[in-house]
Amino acid sequence: MITDMKLKDKMDHIQRMCKDLSRDQNKLLNNIIYITKNALPHQLIIYDPNNIIVCIIQLYFYYYDILLRTDNIFIYKRRKRYRHARECYNNLLKIYIPKRSRETLEIILDTICENKLWEFETFCFDLICDLLKYGLSGSIMFHAIWDKIEGPDMNIEDSKRIMRILYELLNVYEWPNTHDTIIVIERILNLFYISITTTESTINFIPYATLKKSLEVCIINMVKHIYNYHLLIIIHHMCSWVVETEMTDEFILQFGSTLEYIAFIHNVTLYEKTLTPKIFPLLMEMIASTSKISSLLGNRVIQHLLDRKENKANFDTPKIFFEDANFDIKMERYYKEDKLFCKYHREILHDSFLKGILNHCSSRMNLESIYCTICLIAVEVPCGFTAAAVVCLLMNLQDITLKGQNKRHVEISYHIHATVIAIMSLLCWIHKADVFYEYVNKIMLERAQWAPHLNPPIQSQYNFAAHHILWNKPDLFFVDWEARYGLWKCFRLRETDEQEIDAD
């Protein structure tokens, strides 16, 4: 233990020496080592941390820098000094955090800026990472660093260096489930939005536009360490950007992959908890959008939020699901809450999928994407209601396609009819609907004989013989009452036997 008087003398000596560190570095380090080993926390906490922390950071960097340039013959001694400097720094952090966290952080950041240390990214990362290790709040850290980036004296090169340090910090920090975390998420999203939508005519174009990629990496690193609920906040914000009236396809492409990645890592439970009243309408609006990019992105995002059993790869393109064939499709009992969710939102699901297909059926990628979404709903909630709702959608789609066949390119209608029969066969396969299967197989075989272009797979170009007749007879298409009968035969005896479970 050290007396208060002796501690005061030591601290005064450090204050004088700190003004000129060009000599006696070893002596100064010994003084700080003595203080950190012998002074009690309550003795040291009353002193202004500025002098001793600035001093130890400069010494820490001095030994760090000299260690990098030391020959092997002297490396042991230099490494020992470097290790002692770091231990002193950590011991001081133990004392000043959390009681004087903000003050300590500001001192460290100011010291880094004044000594132009940002270019030594590993050193700066270690300095700030140690702060987090000893209890500094991540939200305080983020706001303080970003305030430095937005400061008037910060140049672009240093801003980029700080961003590289920041996204490495975000890759290791585990965020708590607090309101402060949400504030950080919303600030970083707001900055990312500004960086995306900033144009050359916008004020502050250069600072924000040049940081766009770094902000994207910050978000990607941060989402690995936040709660499931926080991911939904990000998804909601980004989906709301997509449906803005002034949002262009070019802007959407800049953050679409990030949105899709966040949806992918989200852990889906019940649909009512994932597809919240804020998120679900936005996704439906995206799917029904007249923009191909928005519709495609909406489908890809909702697929990740539906696909609990990783069945998505089975539905990359329309195909016939033959009876008694084995497919790598994982199905279990469904939650009754999910069935109620589908019932409650049946109308908007029907209308959005129908609009999405009719708006973008000329794009094979979009058509296959909506096909995948519909199949996932059928597989994830394998009940009579979803089967009936999907059949209703398909029959409506077929009727509209037949009525408007002369208005659109004929090959597009082939793609739609192939998609319809593919989903019909999937429903039969899921529910082992023997009578319905007979009907689907009958149409499939009729088409195989007279109009194979109406069956999967869909093709970019159809080559017909010179005298080939394109049949369009009723036997080649589904009839509403026949489809209803197939469903009725399948489910009439299962009303009380369906495999639904409670989420509890």
Tokens of 392: 């209703």
- Cβ atoms of 205 and 199 within 8 Å: the answer is yes
Residue 41 CA, distance from chain mean position: 43
Does 285 share its domain with 175?
no
Digit-coded pLDDT (tens) for 232-277: 999 999 999 999 999 999 999 999 999 999 999 999 999 999 999 9
501: helix, strand or coil: strand
Domain end, chosen from 244, 267, 290, is at 267
Residue 335 pairs in a beta bridge with 501
Choose among 29, 53, 166: nearest CA to 101.
53
Are 202 and 253 in the same domain? yes
H/E stretch holding 334 reads strand 334-335
CA-CA distance, 62 to 17, in Å (whole number)? 15
Residue with tokens 């002297």: 74
Judgement on whether residues 296 and 394 belong to the same structural domain of the protein: yes
- 308 and 214 share one domain: no
Q: Which two tokens stand for residue 125?
A: 């990362």
Residues 304 and 453 in one domain: yes
Inside any domain, residue 47: yes
Place of tokens 């029904």: 288
Do residues 234 and 292 both lie within one domain?
Answer: no
Q: Cα separation of 315 and 41, whole Å? A: 63
> 3-state class of 500 per DSSP?
strand
Q: Is residue 249 part of a domain?
A: yes
CA dist., res. 412 & res. 420, Å (int): 13
In eight-state DSSP terms, residue 199 is -
**Per-run averaged pLDDT (10 residues), the chain, 504 residues:** 87 80 81 91 89 92 83 69 93 91 95 92 95 94 93 86 94 96 96 85 64 94 97 98 95 97 96 97 98 98 96 96 92 93 98 97 96 98 96 97 76 94 97 94 93 91 70 86 92 63 64
Take residue 1 and report the two structure tokens written for it. 């233990």
- Confirm whether 280 is domain-assigned: yes
**318 and 454 housed in the same domain:** yes
Tokens of 11: 């601290």
- Go through the chain and tell me how many residues it has: 504
Give the total number of structural domains in the chain.
3
Structural domain including 217 reads 166-267
Say if residues 118 and 161 touch (Cβ distance below 8 Å): yes
Residue where a domain terminates, one of 267, 301, 318: 267
Tell which of 136, 157, 191 closes a domain.
136
User: Residue 148: is it exposed, middle or buried by C-beta count within 10 angstroms (0-12/13-18/19+)?
Assistant: buried
Residues 403 and 493 in one domain: yes
List the one residue out of 195, 285, 293, 177 whose CA is nearest residue 233.
177
**Where does residue 99 rank: exposed (0-12), middle (13-18), buried (19+ CB within 10 A)?**
exposed
Asked if residue 439 and residue 349 are part of one domain, the reply reads yes
Tell me whether residue 158 is in a domain. no
Q: What is the pLDDT of residue 466?
A: 60
CA atoms within 13 A on the CB side of 502: 1
The answer as to whether 141 is a domain residue is: no
Q: pTM (2 decimals)? A: 0.92
Q: Which residues lie closer than 8 Å to 206 by C-beta, 6 or more apart?
A: 156
Amino acid 108: pLDDT: 96
Tokens of 58: 């400069």
Please tell me whether residues 92 and 205 are part of one structural domain. Answer: no
* Same domain, yes or no: 121 and 243: no
Residue 437 neighbours by CB distance under 10 Å = 22
Residue 322 belongs to a domain: yes
Would you give the distance in Å from CA 22 to the centre of its chain?
Answer: 49
- Residue 153 counted as domain residue: no
Contact 398, 480 (CB under 8 A): no
Is the peptide bond preceding residue 98 cis, with omega within 30 degrees of 0?
yes
Specify whether 35 is located in the same domain as 100: yes
Residue 146 lies in a domain: no
Which 8-state DSSP code applies to residue 381? Answer: S
The whole-number pLDDT of residue 233 equals 98
